[in-house]
A = this chain, B = another copy of it.
Amino acid sequence: MNELNATAHKILDVAERLTQLHGFNAFSYKALQDEVGVKTSTIHYYFPTKQDLALRLVERHGVRFAELLKQIDGTHTEAIGRINALAQVYIDTLSQGKFCMCGMLASDLLALPEQANLRLQEFFQQVEAWLAKALVLGQEQGRIHSGIDIEGTASLLLSTLEGGMLIARAHGCSAYLERVMNTLMQQIGKAYTE
């Protein structure tokens, strides 16, 4: 990701924003030109085809998200706090009218090159692995019910974030996602059955 220069990063920044707003199929190199301020031919210099752009987009996002998760671990010692911090990232994205980058790319799946598809799968697995770790920590801290299936619940949390975000955005209301996540957290949290 650091082998890219400032122009390439700026192109990816705009492409990322347009993807999250409209979807990968719904913006053109011309739209990037208008926002980035360089000609489409310059964009093709960095990303010869749109499929190259898709791959770089998902690659950079995966790296950055890994850093974000590490940062949350550094600032939150409690498992519940970590999961809520992740949820807040999704809620903040929603409040900008945007959908999850990888959720959007997943909806545009058939337009992506195979390699981007693989990176997308890795991204989801990466977040689930982080969630599973947080759930185990929560059990040790006595805040997460000990009877739950860790792997299944990690997948459930991610699915709820993605699906809740999708529906919340349709309703134009980020509170929907908050409510859904609170409902789930109450059901897996210890307070629920005690």
Contact = CB atoms under 8 A, between A and B. Distances in A.
**Contact-residue size bin, chain A (C-beta under 8 Å from the other chain):** 35 or more
Contact of A156 (B25, B149, B183): B183
Given A26-B111, A147-B192, A167 B158 contact: yes
A184 B170 CA distance: 23
Contact of A124 (B109, B111, B171, B182): B171
Contact of A170 (B121, B153, B176): B121
Contacts of A153: 183, 187
Interface stretch (A35-43, A73-81, A100-108): A100-108
A156 B167 contact: no
Interface string A122-156: 00100000000000000000000001110011011
Protomer copies: 2
A62 interface: no
A61 interface: no
Contact of A180 (B156, B166, B180, B188): B156
A87 interface: no
A117 interface: yes
Given A160-B159, A171-B124, A184-B156, A23 B166 contact: no
